[in-house]
Chain A
Amino acid sequence: MGDYKKMWQDLNMDIEKHDILCEALPEQFGDIYLTQENRPEAMNYFNYVVAEIHGARIMELEKYKKEGGKVVGTFCVFVPDEVILATKAIGVGLCSGSQFWIEDGEKILPRNICPLVKAFTGAKIGLTCPYFQSCDMIVGETTCDAKKKAWEIMDEYIPVHVMELPQMKREKNIKQWEDEIRIFINRMEELTGNKVTIESLKKGIDICNGKRKALKRMYDLRKNTPSPISGLDALLVSQVAFSDDPERFIEKTEELCDELEERVKELKPNGKKRIMVTGTPMALPNWKLHSIVEGLNAEIVVEETCTGTRYFENEVSTEGDTIDELVRNMAERYMDINCACFTPNEGRVEDIIKYVDEYNVDGVIYYNLSFCHTYAIEYEKIAKALKEEDIPLLKIETDYSEEDTGQIKTRVEAFLEMI
């Protein structure tokens, strides 16, 4: 296929090391994704994105930069993409879902922090992620201690802008987040030389809402029994949402949904257990839990995670005639996300119970990346609430390595038998 070596060299990448990563992907993707039976044809687009993940998309970014455009990297669903779009920059959610980067991450970080943080740090310092290499700046947030401190290290390698996310949801906290969005607007204007106008911000909001609508439509289709799309495929679509061109992504996801709508008419019950996954995000290419669960007699029909419902639920209102009003609308929408970094975080319990009903779920798997404390602690509350409702729950705490795959499989198997 296309020769990307020159491009990667220009991006100052460690070509040899990067090659080890490239070597593993086709096989891993083939084994997990292409062996699924009866996949929607529209998934071809998403296959394309994965196959070209270090090729075509990076070429687009490089081209944009040559024309004077800017690229910023993000790691969390709180970073307002609307602002990035309004300053004509491209935002890419950086995938940090591979074991490959952990080793480099552990060179400068303690071992006992979450794999996501170790992976993104490793990807940067090991010079093996072309997205990172393309970024003019990355945008961090203070959602957890691991990330908060990792930005300081990261800042030695690439300019970092950190947004301070309040940890409570009182009116003064929402105001504080409004302020952070304003500061972010200034920083993005400086970086790009483009002023945010009421029109450009409204357009940014429209595009982001379009993405949310498309994802929501796909999730609504998963409410059918059986779901017209596997959890693995749906997860891939969500993961791609973070780094793909937003308008193209919307178009392709709507196409997929059109196909799924047709499928729904013909599907017959398959007797598979319907599972909800709740917990920490699954960044590309973390397909571990989904491939284990769907390798058994079950389908994952909803993810209450940041690579799931938390990413697309609720839209930003475009009502208003001033930038300040739009900023307020954004702050309200973002502060409605029920991340475990908040205290208290009652909304998450309510969401989970609501989704069990909406998606006709038989059992819930609580997925926790190892050493993610907020989510690990919040487990107790969720467990209690689900118990009261008589909803079966299984907790899986794991990282990106393959070592515990067999053990997780056994536990999920036992869980499925029980429900």
Chain B
Amino acid sequence: MAKHYILFPNYSQGLKLEVLLKQNNIKYVISPTPRKLSTSCGISIMYNKKDEEVIKDIIDKNSVEIKGLFTIE
């Protein structure tokens, strides 16, 4: 099953998005960043595909810095 991740330039941006997702009642899981996506360790956020557009919106509106949204098959 495909999994979807958001990566961040540093963990504080990740935590910033976490708070926003929680406020908006969007389900997510904090996860160690998979090696396939990045060689530096730290958190990423796993989300459900169906929430993707809403999440992008939240990221834009609140200027959360991200490295990008990624999918692993």
Interface residues, chain A, CB within 8 Å of chain B? 1-5, 19, 22-23, 25-27, 29-30, 34, 41, 44-45, 47-48, 50-52, 54-56
Contact = CB atoms under 8 A, between A and B. Distances in A.
- Residue of B27, B38, B42, B46 contacting most chain A CB atoms (<10 Å): B42
A413 to B, nearest CB: 27
B10 to A, nearest CB: 4
Nearest to A24: B35
B35 A2 contact: no
B11 A26 contact: no
A226 to B, nearest CB: 22
Given A22-B41, A51-B43, A55-B42, A2 B31 contact: no
A19 to B, nearest CB: 8
A41 B67 CA distance: 24
A44 B31 CA distance: 8
A48 B43 CA distance: 6
B31 A55 contact: no
30 contacts: A1-B7, A1-B11, A1-B33, A1-B42, A1-B67, A2-B10, A2-B11, A2-B40, A4-B41, A22-B41, A23-B35, A25-B32, A26-B31, A26-B32, A26-B35, A29-B31, A30-B31, A34-B31, A34-B46, A44-B30, A45-B30, A47-B29, A47-B30, A47-B31, A47-B32, A51-B33, A51-B42, A52-B42, A52-B43, A56-B42
Given A44-B18, A55-B11, A1 B43 contact: yes
Contact of B41 (A1, A41, A45): A1
A193 to B, nearest CB: 31
Q: At the interface, is chain A mostly helix, strand, loop or mixed?
A: helix
- Residue of B27, B29, B34, B67 contacting most chain A CB atoms (<10 Å): B29
Contacts of B67: 1
Contacts of A27: 34-35
Interface string B37-67: 0111111101000000000000000000001
- Residue of B8, B10, B32, B39 contacting most chain A CB atoms (<10 Å): B32
A173 to B, nearest CB: 44
Contacts of B9: 1-2
A139 to B, nearest CB: 28
A1 B31 CA distance: 12
The 8 A-B pairs at the shortest CB distance, nearest first, are namely A1-B42, A26-B32, A51-B32, A2-B10, A51-B43, A47-B30, A44-B30, A22-B41
A21 B33 CA distance: 14
B32 A29 contact: yes
A56 B35 contact: no
